[in-house]
């Protein structure tokens, strides 16, 4: 009875997860769970059922739940010593992380899975992990790494002659080449994949491959070839995969649009829209509506074009799809201009520029995060391979040591036996000493000397051996130390190179955006003037305000880049002097309090017994000002920020705390990198350089800075100086 209740509870705890499934699916789920929860079943049968449960119902659609279930599956497999299933559980956890874009975690799980699979020697399993690692790289835009892993996978699939695996990997490789703009290579791989799909009579695979080929031809401007491939793809799909069907219809619309067949294009895109509406796919609905708007515009139906574009815009705004908003507003600005409505055109243009700026910023942050993640990953891989090499070296050394020991032991026993033999002879001589003649006596003496000499030599050889061994050990340590140094230098070099490239590209990008905004506003002003309309002062202010804001942004950026330049060239001087930190802070607080528009002030607290400290005032002012200014800037509408000095016996702590928007936990580690701006600050002005400079200045001042933050609650930055 107890067991039954327990079973019931277990099933219920899982079925709570399955509320959104259809009745049929729920029935299938229940039957799988009954097997999983039946402790009398074979372990492998239970595991099969649970694996099926996770894979079929959760992995792709509910990755968060899938992650927890896969964790449970891992624990079970570990307990039951089902090694291959442990690796599958790790693969599932990796996939769940991949689906929620947590790429670093995904890679961690994949690498753990890979290790188990390499141990078990299951090649199909290894190939599938390689493919998944490739996919993560592809998603991060690290195409050459992705390609490396896909090729590894392909090699295994080819060895195993696993045709469907080969076809999928060829398709993946095709995608990489397409993304890199090598269309011919992409076509070659897609075609190879298609050939296999045809041979296997895999209609869905065929349709996907044909669509991919069509997209390449569309990109190349080979519309006839694109058309023929999309049409074949449509037949192969036969309406089976609805979203693919819609995608093909949309693509067909694109080809006809390029060929100037606007009515046919309209038919296809309408079909695509219809499916998107049925599937409630809002992103693609908005894209199709915008496309329909463009077609109407080409057909000179500007009013219809505007109405469709506005519908598209509404959806895009509701779901927050920035890329779509940018496309649509750009179109709308053009449509309004054509229908002689400069005011609406201007509004749309401003919305377009705003959105574009946000996208640029986000892309830049993502690029920084991507590069850092990639760098961390490369470091991990390098560390792993060094570790493996080291393990290999250690095991080799062990073998050598054993061999050396054996040789020494053999030598020792040789000498020991020779010694024993000689001693035995010597004993015989003594035993017979009464009979010995004077000649024999001298022989005995010589033998004795020989034994002594042999003993001495044995001792000497032993000492030499010990010396040699020590020398070898010393050499080994030196080589190891050099290896470590080399690895470190390589890492630093790589890090510096990355920082430099990052810096140059980020800096130029940061200038390009304000310049583009200024230029477009000037163009708009010209447009308004040439339209002959009177420019209202409100509009004039709006435009000139934007120009002024961008100029001040550029000036601020220029100042900070100059400071950074000075820092990296080592031109910042360090002039310490004894200061009264309390007085220093009071002056700083006064300055900040007087410029707050919302009337907030900086609360000040002093802990411990104040004492003087030797610091460079310029460096301290710059760094502390940045922290205080951020504390106000990122906590508008909240409590006063707080500055605290804590005079401790051995150190001095200066902290700046606020109760504002906080920093996302996943981004905290990038905080002090140049140009880093968190994802939650896109609406707030900034350059992303202040903290980087502050950290450098604090370190020049022989201090350390740390940060703690909780998203939505606030942040605390703490500087620690040694009291001496
Ligand atoms: P900026 O403020 O000009 O963007 P900083 O280098 O000073 O540049 O800060 C880098 C990023 O760190 C900010 O963009 C923001 O995302 C985050 N940040 C810094 N201080 C705070 C704070 N007090 N609260 C929330 N986020 C902060």
What pLDDT is recorded for position 400?
A: 64
Determine which residue's CA is closest to atom 7 belonging to ligand 1: 690
Q: Are residues 386 and 468 in the same domain?
A: yes
Q: Are residues 521 and 550 in the same domain?
A: yes
Q: Are residues 614 and 692 in the same domain?
A: yes
Q: Ligand 1 centroid vs 138 CA: distance in angstroms?
A: 30
Token code pair at residue 384: 């792993």
Determine which residue's CA is closest to atom 14 belonging to ligand 1: 677
What is d(CA 291, CA 273) in angstroms, rounded to the nearest whole number?
A: 10
In a domain, 172, yes or no: no
CB 232 within 8 Å of CB 252? no
CB 540 within 8 Å of CB 666? no
**Choice among 127-136, 286-295, 494-503, 579-588 with the minimum mean pLDDT:** 494-503
For residue 345 and ligand 1, the question of a CB distance below 6 A is answered with no
What pLDDT is recorded for position 185?
A: 95
Work out the burial of residue 201: count CB atoms within 10 Å of its CB; fewer than 13 is exposed, 13-18 middle, 19 or more buried.
exposed
Token code pair at residue 2: 């107890």
Residue 187 pLDDT > 60: yes
Q: Are residues 596 and 715 in the same domain?
A: yes
For residue 641 and ligand 1, the question of a CB distance below 6 A is answered with no
Nearest to 517 by CA among 553, 560, 541: 553
Q: How confident is the model at residue 390 (pLDDT cuts 50, 70, 90)?
A: low
Residue 438 pLDDT > 60: no
Residue-wise pLDDT tens digits, 568-591: 777 788 999 999 999 999 999 999
For residue 658 and ligand 1, the question of a CB distance below 6 A is answered with yes
In a domain, 402, yes or no: yes
CB 469 within 8 Å of CB 461? no
What is d(CA 388, CA 623) in angstroms, rounded to the nearest whole number?
A: 43
In a domain, 247, yes or no: no
Highest average pLDDT, of 351-355, 608-612, 657-661, 668-672, comes from: 657-661
Query: DSSP characters for 637-650?
Result: TSPPPEEEEEE-SS
- Continuous H helices in 658-709: 690-700
Q: Are residues 616 and 698 in the same domain?
A: yes
Instruction: Give the helix/strand (H/E) hosting 651.
Output: strand 651-658
Token code pair at residue 12: 């219920």
For residue 660 and ligand 1, the question of a CB distance below 6 A is answered with yes
Q: What percent of the chain has pLDDT over 90?
A: 51
In a domain, 186, yes or no: no
CB 293 within 8 Å of CB 331? yes
- What's the number of CA atoms in the CB half-sphere (13 Å) around residue 383? 8
Our mutation pick for probing the ligand 1 site, out of 681, 692, 709, counting the most ligand atoms within 8 A of Cβ, is 681
Q: Ligand 1 centroid vs 653 CA: distance in angstroms?
A: 21
**Choice among 142-156, 375-389, 540-554 with the minimum mean pLDDT:** 375-389
Residue 399 pLDDT > 70: no
Residue-wise pLDDT tens digits, 272-302: 999 999 999 999 999 999 999 999 999 999 9
Q: Region 432-445: what's the mean pLDDT?
A: 55
What pLDDT is recorded for position 383?
A: 58
Q: Ligand 1 centroid vs 264 CA: distance in angstroms?
A: 51
What is d(CA 580, CA 85) in angstroms, rounded to the nearest whole number?
A: 65
For residue 271 and ligand 1, the question of a CB distance below 6 A is answered with no
What pLDDT is recorded for position 299?
A: 95
Cβ-based neighbours of 614, under 8 Å, separated by 6 or more: 576, 577, 578, 579
Residue-wise pLDDT tens digits, 60-107: 888 888 999 999 999 999 999 998 999 999 999 999 999 988 888 999
For residue 631 and ligand 1, the question of a CB distance below 6 A is answered with yes
Residues counted in the chain: 724
In a domain, 35, yes or no: no
Q: Are residues 686 and 715 in the same domain?
A: yes
Q: Are residues 586 and 701 in the same domain?
A: yes
For residue 655 and ligand 1, the question of a CB distance below 6 A is answered with no
State the CATH number of the domain containing residue 621.
3.30.565.10
| Ligand 1 atom closest to 635 (CA) | 24
Q: Are residues 700 and 615 in the same domain?
A: yes
Instruction: Give the helix/strand (H/E) hosting 449.
Output: helix 438-530
Cβ-based neighbours of 252, under 8 Å, separated by 6 or more: 227, 230, 231, 234, 268
What pLDDT is recorded for position 435?
A: 47
Q: Region 340-369: what's the mean pLDDT?
A: 79
For residue 626 and ligand 1, the question of a CB distance below 6 A is answered with yes
What is d(CA 635, CA 640) in angstroms, rounded to the nearest whole number?
A: 8
Place of tokens 């991949």: 98
For residue 690 and ligand 1, the question of a CB distance below 6 A is answered with yes
Highest average pLDDT, of 344-358, 379-393, 689-703, comes from: 689-703
Residue-wise pLDDT tens digits, 203-258: 999 999 999 999 999 999 999 999 999 999 999 998 788 999 999 999 999 999 99
Q: Which residue has the higher pLDDT, 476 or 368?
A: 476
Residue 668 pLDDT > 60: yes
Determine which residue's CA is closest to atom 13 belonging to ligand 1: 677
Determine which residue's CA is closest to atom 23 belonging to ligand 1: 631
For residue 714 and ligand 1, the question of a CB distance below 6 A is answered with no
Q: How confident is the model at residue 605 (pLDDT cuts 50, 70, 90)?
A: very high
Choose one of 510, 527, 547: the last residue of a domain.
Answer: 510
Q: Are residues 406 and 454 in the same domain?
A: yes
Q: How confident is the model at residue 10 (pLDDT cuts 50, 70, 90)?
A: very low
Q: What is the DSSP letter of 44?
A: H
What pLDDT is recorded for position 598?
A: 92
For residue 214 and ligand 1, the question of a CB distance below 6 A is answered with no
Choose one of 510, 525, 554: the last residue of a domain.
Answer: 510
For residue 671 and ligand 1, the question of a CB distance below 6 A is answered with yes
CB 373 within 8 Å of CB 104? yes
User: What is the rounded radius of gyration, in angstroms, for the C-alpha atoms of the chain?
Assistant: 37
Residue 494 pLDDT > 70: no
Cβ-based neighbours of 548, under 8 Å, separated by 6 or more: none
Q: What percent of the chain has pLDDT over 70?
A: 83
Q: Are residues 526 and 606 in the same domain?
A: no
| Ligand 1 atom closest to 693 (CA) | 6
As a three-state string, the secondary structure of 159-216 is HHCCHHHHHHHHHHHHHHHHHCCCHHHHHHHHHHHHHHHHHCCCHHHHHHHHHHHHHH
Q: Which long-range contacts (CB under 8 A, 24 or more apart) does 351-355 make?
A: 351/325, 352/326, 353/516, 353/517, 353/520, 355/322, 355/325, 355/326, 355/329
Q: Region 397-411: what's the mean pLDDT?
A: 60
What is d(CA 25, CA 63) in angstroms, rounded to the nearest whole number?
A: 18
Q: How confident is the model at residue 11 (pLDDT cuts 50, 70, 90)?
A: very low
Q: What is the pTM of this model?
A: 0.56
For residue 688 and ligand 1, the question of a CB distance below 6 A is answered with yes
| Ligand 1 atom closest to 660 (CA) | 24
Q: Ligand 1 centroid vs 687 CA: distance in angstroms?
A: 9
Q: Region 335-340: what's the mean pLDDT?
A: 90
For residue 557 and ligand 1, the question of a CB distance below 6 A is answered with no
Q: Ligand 1 centroid vs 630 CA: distance in angstroms?
A: 6
For residue 676 and ligand 1, the question of a CB distance below 6 A is answered with yes
Q: Are residues 551 and 621 in the same domain?
A: no
What is d(CA 658, CA 687) in angstroms, rounded to the nearest whole number?
A: 20
Residue-wise pLDDT tens digits, 414-423: 554 444 444 4
What pLDDT is recorded for position 486?
A: 74
| Ligand 1 atom closest to 671 (CA) | 12
Residue 396 pLDDT > 70: no
In a domain, 104, yes or no: no
Our mutation pick for probing the ligand 1 site, out of 561, 627, 657, 663, counting the most ligand atoms within 8 A of Cβ, is 663
Q: How confident is the model at residue 2 (pLDDT cuts 50, 70, 90)?
A: very low
Choose one of 484, 510, 536: the last residue of a domain.
Answer: 510
Residue-wise pLDDT tens digits, 518-564: 887 787 778 777 777 777 788 788 888 888 888 887 888 788 778 87
What pLDDT is recorded for position 467?
A: 79
What range does the domain containing 644 cover?
577-722
Residue-wise pLDDT tens digits, 248-262: 999 999 999 999 999
What pLDDT is recorded for position 276?
A: 94
What pLDDT is recorded for position 444?
A: 60
Q: Which residue has the higher pLDDT, 124 or 309?
A: 309
Q: Region 2-15: what's the mean pLDDT?
A: 44
Mean pLDDT of the chain: 84
Residue 501 pLDDT > 90: no
Residue 192 pLDDT > 50: yes
What pLDDT is recorded for position 425?
A: 47
Q: Are residues 581 and 698 in the same domain?
A: yes
What is d(CA 628, CA 654) in angstroms, rounded to the nearest whole number?
A: 11
In a domain, 634, yes or no: yes
| Ligand 1 atom closest to 641 (CA) | 23
Place of tokens 């528009």: 597
Q: In the chain, how many domains are there? A: 3
Q: How confident is the model at residue 29 (pLDDT cuts 50, 70, 90)?
A: confident
Q: Ligand 1 centroid vs 191 CA: distance in angstroms?
A: 49
Residue 607 pLDDT > 90: yes
CB atoms within 10 A of CB 650: 8
For residue 510 and ligand 1, the question of a CB distance below 6 A is answered with no
Q: Ligand 1 centroid vs 627 CA: distance in angstroms?
A: 9
- Continuous H helices in 531-573: 537-568
Provide the Cα torsion 50, 53, 55, 58; round to 10°: -130
| Ligand 1 atom closest to 714 (CA) | 24
CB 38 within 8 Å of CB 46? yes
Residue 593 pLDDT > 80: yes
CB atoms within 10 A of CB 273: 23
What pLDDT is recorded for position 627?
A: 97
Determine which residue's CA is closest to atom 2 belonging to ligand 1: 686
What is d(CA 594, CA 587) in angstroms, rounded to the nearest whole number?
A: 11
Provide the Cα torsion 529, 310, 265, 244; round to 10°: 130
Residue 661 pLDDT > 70: yes
Q: Region 442-460: what's the mean pLDDT?
A: 72
Residue-wise pLDDT tens digits, 312-334: 999 999 999 999 999 999 999 99
In a domain, 265, yes or no: no
Our mutation pick for probing the ligand 1 site, out of 634, 642, 655, counting the most ligand atoms within 8 A of Cβ, is 634
Q: Ligand 1 centroid vs 87 CA: distance in angstroms?
A: 41
């Amino acid at each position: 009875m107890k067991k039954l209740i327990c079973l019931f509870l277990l099933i219920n705890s899982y079925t709570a997860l399955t509320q959104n499934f259809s009745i049929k699916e729920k029935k299938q789920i229940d039957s799988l769970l009954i097997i999983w929860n039946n402790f009398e079943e074979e372990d492998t049968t239970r595991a099969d059922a649970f694996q099926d449960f996770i894979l079929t119902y959760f992995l792709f659609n509910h990755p968060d739940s899938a992650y927890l279930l896969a964790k449970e599956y891992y624990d079970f497999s570990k307990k039951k010593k089902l090694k291959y299933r442990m690796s599958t559980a790790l693969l599932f956890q990796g996939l769940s992380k991949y689906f929620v874009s947590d790429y670093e975690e995904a890679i961690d799980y994949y690498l753990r899975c890979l290790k188990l699979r390499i141990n078990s020697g299951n090649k199909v399993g290894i190939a599938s992990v390689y493919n998944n690692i490739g996919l993560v790289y592809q998603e991060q835009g690290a195409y050459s790494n992705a390609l490396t892993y896909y090729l590894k996978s392909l090699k295994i699939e080819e060895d195993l002659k696993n045709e469907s695996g080969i076809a999928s990997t060829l398709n993946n490789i095709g995608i990489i080449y397409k993304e890199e703009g090598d269309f011919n290579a992409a076509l070659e791989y897609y075609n190879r994949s298609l050939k296999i799909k045809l041979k296997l009579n895999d209609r869905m695979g065929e349709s996907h491959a044909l669509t991919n080929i069509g997209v390449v031809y569309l990109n190349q401007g080979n519309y006839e070839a694109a058309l023929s491939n999309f049409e074949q793809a449509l037949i192969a799909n036969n309406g089976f995969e609805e979203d693919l069907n819609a995608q093909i219809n949309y693509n067909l619309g694109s080809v006809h649009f390029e060929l100037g067949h606007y009515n046919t294009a309209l038919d296809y895109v309408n079909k695509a829209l219809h499916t998107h509406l049925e599937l409630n796919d809002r992103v693609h609905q908005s894209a199709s509506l915008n496309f329909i708007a463009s077609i109407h515009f080409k057909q000179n139906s500007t009013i219809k074009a505007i109405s469709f574009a506005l519908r598209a815009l509404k959806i895009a705004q509701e779901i927050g799809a920035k890329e779509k908003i940018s496309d649509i507003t750009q179109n709308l600005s053009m449509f309004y201009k054509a229908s002689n409505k400069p005011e609406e055109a201007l509004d749309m243009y401003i919305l377009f520029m705003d959105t574009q700026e946000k996208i640029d910023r986000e892309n830049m942050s993502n690029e920084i995060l991507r590069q850092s993640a990639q760098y961390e990953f490369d470091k991990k891989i390098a560390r792993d391979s060094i570790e493996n090499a080291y393990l290999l070296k250690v095991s080799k050394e062990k073998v050598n040591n054993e061999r050396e020991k054996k040789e020494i032991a053999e030598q020792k026993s040789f000498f020991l036996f020779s010694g024993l033999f000689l001693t035995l002879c010597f004993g015989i001589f003594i035993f017979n000493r009464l009979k010995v003649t004077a000649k024999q006596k001298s022989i005995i003496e010589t033998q004795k000397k020989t034994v002594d000499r042999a003993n001495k030599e044995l001792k000497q050889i032993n000492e030499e051996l010990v010396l040699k061994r020590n020398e070898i050990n010393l050499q080994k340590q030196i080589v190891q130390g050099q290896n470590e140094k080399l690895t470190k230098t390589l890492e630093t070099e790589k890090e510096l190179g990355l920082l430099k490239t990052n810096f140059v590209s980020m800096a130029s990008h940061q200038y390009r955006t304000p310049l583009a905004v200024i230029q477009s506003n000037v163009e708009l002003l010209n447009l308004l003037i040439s339209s002959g309309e009177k420019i209202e002062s409100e509009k004039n202010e709006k435009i000139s305000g934007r120009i002024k804001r961008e100029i001040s942004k550029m000036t601020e950026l220029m100042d900070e880049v100059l400071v950074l330049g000075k820092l990296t060239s080592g031109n910042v001087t360090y002039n310490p002097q004894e200061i009264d930190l309390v007085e220093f802070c009071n002056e700083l607080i006064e300055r900040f309090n007087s410029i707050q528009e919302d009337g907030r002030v900086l609360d000040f607290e002093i802990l411990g017994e104040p004492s003087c400290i030797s610091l460079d005032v310029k460096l301290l002012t710059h760094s502390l000002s940045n922290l205080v200014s951020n504390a106000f800037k990122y906590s508008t509408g909240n409590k006063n920020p707080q500055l605290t000095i804590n005079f401790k016996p051995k150190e001095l702590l200066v902290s700046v705390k606020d109760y504002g928007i906080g920093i996302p936990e996943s981004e905290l580690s990038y905080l002090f990198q140049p140009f880093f701006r968190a994802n939650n600050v896109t609406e707030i002005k900034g350059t992303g350089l202040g903290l980087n400079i502050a950290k450098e200045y604090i370190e020049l001042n022989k201090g350390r800075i740390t940060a703690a933050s909780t998203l939505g609650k606030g942040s605390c930055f703490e500087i620690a100086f040694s009291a001496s």
